[in-house]
Amino acid sequence: MTAIVAFGAVSALGEGRAAFAVDALDTPPRVAVARDDELGAAGLARPYVARVRGVTAGLGPGSAPSPGGDDERALVILDKAADGCAAGLDARMPGWRGLRVGLALGTSSGGLRTCEALFGSAEADFARLAAPGTFTYFAGLGRLTARLGLPTCRATLVLGACASSTLALGLAGAWLDEDACDLVLAGGYDAASVFVAAGFEALRATSRSGVMRPFTAERDGLVLGEGAALVALVASPLPLGQRGHVFGYVRGFGATADAVHLTAPDRNGGGLARAATAALRGSGLEPGDIGIVSAHGTATDFNDAAESRAIDAALGPAAAAATLHGFKAQIGHTLGAAGALESLACLDALSRGLAPASAGDGTLMEGLSPRRLAVAGPSTARSALKLSAAFGGANASLVLSLDPPTAARPRATRRVFATRAVHVDREPTLEELCARSGTLEKLSRTDRVTRLTLGALAALSDAEGPLEGAGIVVAQGLAAHETNALYWDTVKRRGARFAEPRRFPFTSPNAPCGECAIAFHLTGPGFAVGLGSAAGIEALSVAATLVRAGHAERMVVVAVDDVGPASAPSMSGPSGAVALVVTAEADWTEVLSAEVWACALPGAPRAPLSPAHVALLPLAATAPADCLECGPSWGVFGKVRLRAAGRGLRQE
Give the residue from 210, 306, 224 showing the smallest Cα distance to 258.
Answer: 306
SS3 at position 94:
coil
Provide the pLDDT for residue 264: 80
DSSP string, 585-637: S--SEEEEEEEEEEEPPPSS-SSPBPPGGGGGGGGGSSSPPSEEEEEEETTEE
What's the rounded mean pLDDT across residues 576-602? 91
The pLDDT of residue 441 is above 90: no
The pLDDT of residue 240 is above 50: no
The pLDDT of residue 124 is above 70: no
DSSP string, 166-196: HHHHHHHHHHHHTTS-SEEEEEEEE---HHH
Three-class secondary structure assignment of 529-569 = ECCHHHHHHHHHHHHHHHHHCCCCCEEEEEEEECCCCCCCC
Provide the pLDDT for residue 611: 95
Between strands 554-561 and 183-190, the pairing is unpaired
- Taking only the tens place, the pLDDT of each residue in 190-227 is 999 999 999 999 999 999 999 999 999 999 999 999 99
Q: Round to the nearest angstrom and report the end-to-end CA distance of the chain.
A: 45
User: What are the distances in angstroms from CA 540 to CA 364, 530, 544, 561?
Assistant: 44, 12, 6, 16
Residues 6 or more apart in contact with residue 409 via CB below 8 angstroms: 1, 177
More confident residue, 429 or 461: 461
More confident residue, 322 or 142: 322
What's the rounded mean pLDDT across residues 622-647? 89
Q: For residue 279, which amino acid is it? A: A
Say what percent of the chain tops pLDDT 70: 92
The pLDDT of residue 68 is above 90: no
The pLDDT of residue 252 is above 50: yes
**Among 235-249, 360-374, 496-510, the least confident range:** 235-249
Indicate whether this model's pTM tops 0.85. Answer: yes
Three-class secondary structure assignment of 24-38 = CCCCCCCCCCEECHH
The pLDDT of residue 438 is above 80: no
Cα–Cα distance measured from residue 195 to residue 42, given in angstroms and rounded to the nearest whole number: 10
HSE-CB at 114 with a 13 A cutoff on CA atoms is 33
DSSP structure class, residue 17: G
What's the rounded mean pLDDT across residues 264-270? 88
- Taking only the tens place, the pLDDT of each residue in 406-427 is 776 777 789 999 999 999 998 8
Between strands 526-529 and 422-424, the pairing is unpaired
Give 651's pLDDT tier (boundaries 50, 70, 90).
very low
SS3 at position 143:
helix
What's the rounded mean pLDDT across residues 46-62? 83
Give the residue from 469, 477, 580 showing the smallest Cα distance to 525.
Answer: 469
More confident residue, 587 or 442: 587
Say what percent of the chain tops pLDDT 90: 76
Computed over every residue of the chain, the mean pLDDT equals: 90
CB 67 within 8 A of CB 366: no
More confident residue, 439 or 379: 379
Q: For residue 215, which amino acid is it? A: F
Give the residue from 371, 646, 391, 392 showing the smallest Cα distance to 518.
Answer: 392
Give 445's pLDDT tier (boundaries 50, 70, 90).
confident
Provide the pLDDT for residue 218: 94
The pLDDT of residue 350 is above 60: yes
- Taking only the tens place, the pLDDT of each residue in 99-119 is 999 999 999 998 888 888 778
**Residue 306 is inside which H or E element, if any?**
helix 301-315
Provide the pLDDT for residue 604: 55
Provide the pLDDT for residue 411: 75
The pLDDT of residue 134 is above 90: no
- Taking only the tens place, the pLDDT of each residue in 146-157 is 899 998 999 999
Give the residue from 211, 65, 158 showing the smallest Cα distance to 596.
Answer: 158
Provide the pLDDT for residue 82: 97
Q: ω into residue 632 within 30 of 0, thus cis?
A: yes
What's the rounded mean pLDDT across residues 59-66? 54
Provide the pLDDT for residue 67: 44
